[in-house]
A and B are shown apart, each in its own frame.
Chain A
Amino acid sequence: MSVDVLLPSPVPVRFVAEDGTAVQPPTGYQVPAEERLLEGFRRMVVGRRFDRQATALTKQGRLAVYPSSRGQEACQIAGVLALREDDWLFPTYRDSVALVSRGLDPVEVLTLLRGGWHCGYDPVATRVAPQCTPLATQTIHAVGMADALRRKGEDGVVMAFIGDGGTSEGDFHEALNYAAVLGAPVVFFVQNNKYAISVPLAKQSAAPALAYKGIGYGIRSEQVDGNDLVAVLSVLDAAVEHARTGGGPFLVEAHTYRMDPHTNADDATRYRDRQEVERWEAADPLARLETYLRERGVLTADAVDAAHEAAEKFAAQVRQDLNADPEADPFELFEHVFAEATPQLREQRALLASELED
């Protein structure tokens, strides 16, 4: 394979400028169908409202912690729109918006952050792996799942989400290498939101762009404006198609920005200034898509209102569902260590039972 084929575009692929006007995209990428862009807009509106609601619920003590993805909605939604129902998604802890957009029950998604259990949804039924906290460890699982699908003769694709900090972890590099050697149908989707908690990208990597990390492993790679839903969806469509049709793995880096602190427990003013955040406000992915679609006459004012109305309704339901204390059964602690509890676990269960009786 020629090196040129693997290399990403020297500048991030972009379809829509920050002011919402269309720009000439590089050749080889298609503008996604209008209905998908409209669907993308509606989901971004709901996603942002959900994110804001989750942050509010954290401040009210209803969630133990919440890592916001505000500002990354184009990535969150495009990642989901690019996949079929029978494809698999391997997300991180920051990808709750994507999971809700994929149709997972918000209460089940937030179970982890609410502290009710570790993973609240059914990974098999939803084809979404548990949200992963140890950075980059999920990327190699994604390769294994992709290999499993291929072995079973299915044409499913696996998408692994990861952040910029995660690309420094060894497991990311092992995953890229394994995927390439195995020719596994997996898309690595890096949401480069510029910060790993407080550490800026410049201290994370000296690569010209994180997308260049694919070439050393023989993986086709691309970089895209992560706040341009049209571009992210177009590039991810191509990446998924590449993987689905036997082309092997694909690495996509989306340049975006984490508008909020790492989590509610973080203080972002200690490591970045207000001006920087304001510059990124101007690149807001939701406003950009709205302007683009409205100027093309695809999106009406009524449709915008309807989207916000749906988002309010969705948030109200989340609020209501999470305003009750989660139910937890202490004896469940012993149930899922092994398929069958060991004699020692049965003894410890009995001990807890006697403690609870006192």
Chain B
Amino acid sequence: MTTLSMAQALNAALRDALREDDRVLVFGEDVGPLGGVFRVTDGLTKEFGEQRCFDTPLAEAGIVGLAVGLAMGGFRPVIEMQFDAFAYPAFEQIASHVAKLRNRTRGRLSLPMVIRIPYAGGIGGVEHHCDSSEAYYAHTPGLKVVTPATADDAYWLLRDAIADPDPVVFMEPKRLYWSKGETSAGDRRAAGFGRAAVLREGRDATLVAYGPTVPVALEAAEAAARDGRDLEVVDLRTIVPFDDATVVASVRKTGRCVVIQEAQGFAGVGAEIAARVQERCFHSLAAPVLRVTGFDIPYPPPILEHSHLPDADRVLDAVDRLQFDDEPDLLHLAGEAS
């Protein structure tokens, strides 16, 4: 085991994939000699040459479209969209081609490619640099959507994504790039792709989180434990495919559930999870499934982002509303009255 930051773990995954498979190509904006604005591709051009890791012209639809053609031609492109909101020009390519080519051609053409997207906020980024755009991709059939929360998962989920026969949108929580953790890179293969991880076991309620809100959930569980509440934390790891089994098993055990996402709440991934949980766990639930999310606002300027981002306190407030003491949910009643 070695200790790496998430950015270093991702770099190691790209390096190992480039080394093991000649078909793997890495490209995007500033991913060459600079090593990417977050240094995830650091040193790859030097080690593997300009043919394997290269800078493209500054045009995101072009990057994705080029990857489609290369994947049709037998390569395995791993491309970088520099920031979440910078990927929007490529949305047509992603939604109309990347997601659909296998289906359109009855499986005769597949697109084994990975679209890496640094996403979400918490790093003081100015506008257009902090969007949580995972719901757009998760809502698009044909795309797998992955988001790691630990360095070890970052390494293995990216290796699995590159090896996957289908296109994967690989969403990297920016604020976790510098978080360090032990990784088993090169030692063993973890079975993380498509499986949620129970990061902390508990009996009283389940916190379901993914990507940037996983550390928030863990912090909240830690604090709750000091107050005698035993919370379970589930890290989805892959939003698509969604691991109903792990989430359902946890909520049936605890009987209560809070879903946490950094993205704005309306029509988000958290809403889907809440619906799935209540559909499958209704008779086990002692309280409504609650969501803790960002507000339904454009991502705020840096000085105000702390007011927007779900933190442990907001999670604990939600946990308090899970009707542990048969008190009515005053916040919800107030909402209904107005």
Report which A residues bind B (CB closer than 8 A). 117-119, 122-124, 129-130, 134, 137, 139-149, 151-152, 170-171, 174-175, 177-178, 181, 332, 335-339, 342-344
A171 CB to closest chain B CB (Å) equals 6
User: By the criterion CB–CB under 8 Å, are A178 and B56 in contact?
Assistant: yes
A177 to B113, CA, bound (A): 22
User: By the criterion CB–CB under 8 Å, are A143 and B69 in contact?
Assistant: yes
Subset of 12 A-B contacts with CB under 8 Å: A117-B104, A124-B109, A137-B65, A140-B66, A140-B68, A144-B66, A144-B70, A174-B62, A175-B62, A175-B65, A177-B57, A177-B62
Q: Is B102 interfacial (CB 8 A cutoff)?
A: yes
Q: Which residues of A contact B67 (CB under 8 A)?
A: 144
Known A-B contacts: A130-B105, A134-B92, A148-B70. Give 17 more (CB < 8 A). A117-B106, A119-B105, A123-B105, A124-B109, A130-B109, A137-B65, A139-B65, A143-B69, A144-B66, A144-B69, A145-B70, A147-B69, A149-B73, A171-B61, A178-B59, A342-B241, A344-B242
Q: A129-B72, A149-B73 are in contact. Are A339 and B65 (CB under 8 A)?
A: no
Give the 8 A-B residue pairs with the shortest CB-CB distance, closest first.
A144-B69, A148-B73, A140-B65, A174-B62, A118-B104, A339-B165, A342-B241, A141-B69
Q: Could you say which of A134, A140, A144, A332 contacts B96, with CB atoms under 8 Å apart?
A: A134
A7 to B142, CA, bound (A): 43
A174 to B71, CA, bound (A): 18
B39 CB to closest chain A CB (Å) equals 24
Q: Is B308 interfacial (CB 8 A cutoff)?
A: no
Q: Could you say which of B89, B93, B102 contacts A338, with CB atoms under 8 Å apart?
A: B102
Q: Could you say which of B62, B75, B101 contacts A178, with CB atoms under 8 Å apart?
A: B62
B240 CB to closest chain A CB (Å) equals 7
Within 8 A of A (CB), among B284-307: none
User: By the criterion CB–CB under 8 Å, are B69 and A142 in contact?
Assistant: yes
A147 to B72, CA, bound (A): 11
Q: Which residues of B contact A145 (CB under 8 A)?
A: 69-70, 72-73
Q: A118-B104, A148-B74, A337-B141 are in contact. Are A343 and B241 (CB under 8 A)?
A: yes
Q: Is B222 interfacial (CB 8 A cutoff)?
A: no
User: By the criterion CB–CB under 8 Å, are A144 and B72 in contact?
Assistant: yes
Q: Taking each of B62, B68, B70, B110, which has the highest tally of chain A beta carbons within 10 Å of its own beta carbon?
A: B62
Q: A141-B97, A151-B75 are in contact. Are A174 and B65 (CB under 8 A)?
A: yes
User: By the criterion CB–CB under 8 Å, are A336 and B92 in contact?
Assistant: no
A293 CB to closest chain B CB (Å) equals 38
User: By the criterion CB–CB under 8 Å, are B69 and A146 in contact?
Assistant: yes
A146 to B68, CA, bound (A): 12
User: By the criterion CB–CB under 8 Å, are A178 and B57 in contact?
Assistant: yes
Report which B residues bind A (CB closer than 8 A). 51, 56-57, 59, 61-62, 65-75, 89, 92-93, 96-97, 100-110, 141-142, 144, 165-166, 194, 240-242, 244-245
Q: Which residues of A contact B141 (CB under 8 A)?
A: 337
Q: Which residues of A contact B108 (CB under 8 A)?
A: 122-124
Q: Which residues of A contact B68 (CB under 8 A)?
A: 140-141, 144
User: By the criterion CB–CB under 8 Å, are A339 and B59 in contact?
Assistant: no
A342 to B193, CA, bound (A): 12
User: By the criterion CB–CB under 8 Å, are B61 and A152 in contact?
Assistant: no
A336 to B102, CA, bound (A): 6
A137 to B92, CA, bound (A): 8
User: By the criterion CB–CB under 8 Å, are A144 and B73 in contact?
Assistant: yes
Q: Which residues of B contact A335 (CB under 8 A)?
A: 106-107
Q: Which residues of A contact B144 (CB under 8 A)?
A: 338
A130 to B72, CA, bound (A): 11
Q: Which residues of B contact A144 (CB under 8 A)?
A: 65-73
A90 to B250, CA, bound (A): 49
Closest to A133 in B: B96
A346 CB to closest chain B CB (Å) equals 11
Q: Which residues of A contact B165 (CB under 8 A)?
A: 339
B237 CB to closest chain A CB (Å) equals 15
Closest to A182 in B: B66
Q: A140-B69, A142-B69 are in contact. Are A344 and B59 (CB under 8 A)?
A: no
Q: A144-B68, A344-B241 are in contact. Are A336 and B106 (CB under 8 A)?
A: yes
Q: Which residues of B contact A175 (CB under 8 A)?
A: 62, 65
User: By the criterion CB–CB under 8 Å, are B106 and A178 in contact?
Assistant: no
A144 to B77, CA, bound (A): 10
User: By the criterion CB–CB under 8 Å, are B102 and A147 in contact?
Assistant: no
Closest to B51 in A: A151
Q: Which residues of B contact A149 (CB under 8 A)?
A: 73
A177 to B166, CA, bound (A): 28
User: By the criterion CB–CB under 8 Å, are A143 and B106 in contact?
Assistant: no
Q: Which residues of A contact B103 (CB under 8 A)?
A: 118, 336-337
Q: Which residues of B contact A123 (CB under 8 A)?
A: 72, 105, 108-109
Q: Which residues of A contact B57 (CB under 8 A)?
A: 174, 177-178, 181
A11 to B198, CA, bound (A): 70
A140 to B64, CA, bound (A): 9
A313 to B245, CA, bound (A): 58
A124 to B110, CA, bound (A): 11
Q: Which residues of A contact B92 (CB under 8 A)?
A: 134, 137, 171
Q: Which residues of B contact A117 (CB under 8 A)?
A: 104, 106
